[in-house]
Amino acid sequence: MPNQGPDVVSEEGLRELLSRGYQAVVICSEVPVQKAYFWHGLWHILCVSLDGQSERLLVSARRDAEGGDKPREFRTANGLISFLHSLGFRSVMVPMEEGGRLSHNLLHHGPRRH
């Protein structure tokens, strides 16, 4: 995984680690509110080893103003679900309380259907 610090992971790196059994842990960072038919809030994703000893924050390909890693933010539940689905998850749980964390493991999702 090129150009990554020890505590961050890119989308490409996340895909690789998930294929090796790591979990995607969704964290609710801001209480979501419903607007029309959509839930708006703030969620982040951690990539966590099965033993829990390694946690890496998913970062955006974009850099912050100082040139550092910028955490990937999901502002709608729909955007979060779409991203997780693109990683291969067929069932997604979304924490709806600030500080809530829910784990997703590809080993529980079987082969991808086309």
Question: For 31-82, what is each residue's pLDDT tens digit?
Answer: 999 999 999 999 999 999 999 999 999 999 876 667 778 999 999 999 999 9
Specify the pLDDT at position 111.
Answer: 56
Structural domain includes residue 14: yes
Question: What is the extent of the structural domain holding 38?
Answer: 8-108
Distance of CA 31 to the CA centre of its chain: 17
Token output for 4: 């990554």
Structural domain includes residue 16: yes
Q: What is the overall mean pLDDT for the chain?
A: 89
pTM, rounded to two decimals: 0.86
CA atoms within 13 A on the CB side of 55: 9
Greater model confidence, 99 or 111? 99
Structural domain includes residue 98: yes
Domains held by the chain: number: 1
